[in-house]
A and B are shown apart, each in its own frame.
Chain A
Amino acid sequence: MKPYDLVIIGGGAAGLAALKGAYDEKLKILLIERDKTLGGILKQCIHNGFGLHHYKEELTGPEYAERGVNEVLGLNVDIITDTTVIDVLKENGTFELKVINTKKGEHSIHSTSVIISSGCYERTRGAIQLPGDRPAGIMPAGSAQRYLNMEGYMVGKKVFILGSGDIGLIMARRMKLEGAEVLGVAELMPHSNGLTRNIVQCLHDFDIPLFLSHTISDIKGKDVLESITISEVDENFEYIDGTEKSFDVDTLLLSVGLIPDINMFDSLKFDVSKKTGGAIVDQTYQTSVEGLFACGNALHVHDLVDFVTEESTKAGEQAKAYILNNKKRSNNMISVTPSSNVSYLLPQTLDMDDEFEDVILSLRTTTNAMSGKFHIYQGENLLFTKKAKFVVPAEMEKLTIKKEMLKYKGPITVQFEVVNV
């Protein structure tokens, strides 16, 4: 069989947008999705607040997903669902994808380029080393969200939540609405990572207490969870004696972080960022392996799906240009690195031979600021400064660099100056 020009791995918000961006009548394209239907994690995110940037209206997750699916239906591409990619290799310039499904068992698919749009996975109890017994009833909040919103299982009646990111807050309200008692949300940091709107509408509306600077110090339960204890922590995140509070609960939901889900690409050995957990890419979203592109939460965890769509559409367009123009990677690369008060940014490299006009940097700061300034340098030279308001680490910031600005030599660095905390 003739190899595909492009295989897109993952049919959620990122994969759907990448497909739309990459589509061209001349290309033979395949999209692989592991679930039975397209749409990805949006299908279980039944709350609203999606789409304000991309569609200019407020949608629920399933509505956003369905619009994305409808936009690619009718395109002349292959789509296979209920199929998992287990390994990807590259030999003689061609990717070999080992995939598995219940119809054909394990088999191989070949392609000249690949887009990674496989999303992210949740950190589990094991990843954060919670102390105590190991009973049933402790699960990531997103898993509970799928059980409840799609599969119709109520995961517990007396619930506590660790982590005050938006998924934790949304699930606190959701469990309460479905009749559970939600005894509280504990957050290790002195501030919540969730949107203020979610603090107000998910916690305050239902009198659910938020324990800042607290974490779990004990878990009890023989077979199923019986109780948890939380303790206040000091500035070094050590438990403070005498601050213990216990809660009798049958369920502990964890909202403690997301990690790009790229383990199935390990054999390709591309460069991975320690900060994002995703691939290191250039401005075309190409990884260190030629012909391999990455976007969406598999590249870095986003807070807004609208930005996933924007980024993944571009990644798709770049993959299309790569195939149609038979582009080769140049050796004229410069690095883009975070400096003071910036935790990460991407793309991490710029291919200076590429015919680009604007590069949009996506970045997060390490600190909150009511107002501040981003300073962008090339070598020692200040390229420009941009003011920003209401900056928080939980919300991604964007900066645009134009190619004509890059008249100096050397790497680019970005720093953030806090003007007003």
Chain B
Amino acid sequence: MKKDMICIVCPVGCHVSIDKESHEVTGNKCKRGERYAQKELLNPTRMVTSTVSINSIHQRRIPVKTTDAIPKDKIFDLMDMLESVRLEVPFKMNDVVIDNVFDTGVDIVATMSLEE
């Protein structure tokens, strides 16, 4: 069985294919494409950005992000977790909203400061 994907390491955007058993990569023009495809098959991760509720006079949501990429299959679990968060002003950019999410060592931090 093979999995097809587009490499996004550089602007060329090679259409690569990886064998799910042997992890052999084809279609890549360089070594980075091989590493990208193997990581995407074995341990795909993504940065996640979203918002959580806050009692600011300016806006009802404050934007947040993961401090590093988390496993792709945890994205919707994280969204569920953010649903119940209620923050209060003042809250500052880089203040931690949730620390060490899913034991990944990655924190959720605010990406905006709201003073009032």
The interface of chain A, by Cβ under 8 A from chain B, is 36-37, 43, 46-48, 60-63, 65-66, 148-152, 177-179, 196-197, 199-201, 204-205, 370, 389-390
Contact = CB atoms under 8 A, between A and B. Distances in A.
A150 B59 CA distance: 5
A390 B8 CA distance: 13
Interface stretch (B17-25, B47-55, B97-105): B47-55
B60 A204 contact: no
B85 interface: no
Nearest to B6: A200
A205 B65 CA distance: 18
Interface of B: 5-6, 8, 11-13, 46-51, 53, 58-61, 63, 65, 72, 75-76, 79, 93, 111-113
Contact of B53 (A36, A47, A152): A152
A63 B65 CA distance: 10
Given A48-B47, A152-B53, A43 B11 contact: no
5 contacts: A46-B111, A48-B49, A62-B112, A150-B59, A201-B46
Contact of A199 (B6, B49, B51): B6
Contacts of B53: 152
Contacts of A178: 50, 79
Contacts, number: 71
Contacts of A204: 5-6
Given A61-B63, A205-B46, 20 more contacts: A36-B58, A37-B58, A43-B112, A48-B47, A48-B49, A60-B63, A60-B65, A60-B111, A63-B93, A149-B51, A150-B61, A151-B59, A151-B60, A152-B60, A178-B79, A196-B6, A197-B8, A200-B6, A204-B6, A205-B72
Contact of B8 (A48, A152, A200): A200
B111 to A, nearest CB: 4
A197 B9 CA distance: 9
A37 B112 CA distance: 12
A64 to B, nearest CB: 9
B112 A66 contact: yes
Nearest to A395: B11
A41 B75 CA distance: 26
Given A46-B111, A62-B112, A66-B113, A201 B60 contact: no
Nearest to A392: B11
Contacts of B48: 177
B49 A46 contact: yes
B63 A149 contact: yes
Contacts of A196: 6, 8, 11, 13
A204 B40 CA distance: 12
Nearest to A206: B75
Contacts of A36: 58
Given A43-B112, A200-B6, A201-B46, A48 B12 contact: no
Contacts of B8: 196-197, 200-201
A63 B112 contact: yes
Contacts of A197: 8
A46 B50 contact: yes
Given A60-B65, A197-B8, A204-B6, A47 B60 contact: no
